[in-house]
Amino acid sequence: MNRQEAMAGLQRALELSQQMAAVADGGDVSLAVRLDAERLQLLKSARAALHPMDEQSRSILSEIAVLNDRTLGLLEHRRRATGRDMDMAAVGRRAVAAYAMVRMRS
């Protein structure tokens, strides 16, 4: 892979990172994982051709890192929200079961 192809791959990796952030915001974890796998392959293949790294490459990689942090934050927020929802559902099930027991005794 030459430097021009590597830069095109790096640019595509940035686009995938932007898509991942949008997908993570929507909650589609499986699509985010698939996009991440594609992005990883692009980054791995571009790495050797971009050595030594110029300012443009560093800038793109920096943007990818920022988007990656954002994506991880969004997914973590979604995971915690789902956990809270599951906890609340469990509390509701226990309350219904307790109410049913009280009604049966009356």
- pLDDT tens digit string along 23-73? 998 889 999 999 999 999 999 999 888 888 899 999 999 999 999 999 999
pLDDT of residue 106: 65
pLDDT of residue 104: 76
Range of the domain at 50: 3-105
- What's the angle, vertex CA 101, arms to CA 98 and CA 106, rounded to 5? 130
Q: Please state the domain count of the chain.
A: 1
Task: Judge whether residue 4 has pLDDT over 80.
Answer: yes
